[in-house]
Amino acid sequence: MNDAFVNPLTRGTPGIVGKTRTIKAWAREVLNLADEAVVSVNELSCHLPGCPPKETVILVMHQADTMQISIHKAMKDVAKDDIAYAFSASATGPV
């Protein structure tokens, strides 16, 4: 195997798993979520013309409420300010 290859899904290494945990923590902080709220973070690819190549989708589920936002950036490029802005711009408001 090539020594330059780094598996981003390997436990304990920086990469997509660590960034996912960071984004979930930021979303919990920005929205002041209760511990029982579920936060899901996914990176999606789009191959349609005019669509950003990657987007990060954050889904928050708490009791009967569900809110979803999309940030038109790859997960590795998402910052806490992006999350705060996306949720504040959301028509549904925080959970």
> pTM to 2 decimals?
0.76
Q: What pLDDT, on the 0 to 100 scale, is given for residue 46?
A: 82
Q: Which residues on adjacent β-strands are paired with residue 69?
A: 58
Helix 16-31 and helix 80-89, axial crossing angle in degrees, nearest 10 = 50
Tens of pLDDT, residue by residue over 5-30, are 666 555 554 578 889 999 999 999 99
Domains of the chain (ranges; CATH) run 16-89 (3.30.160)
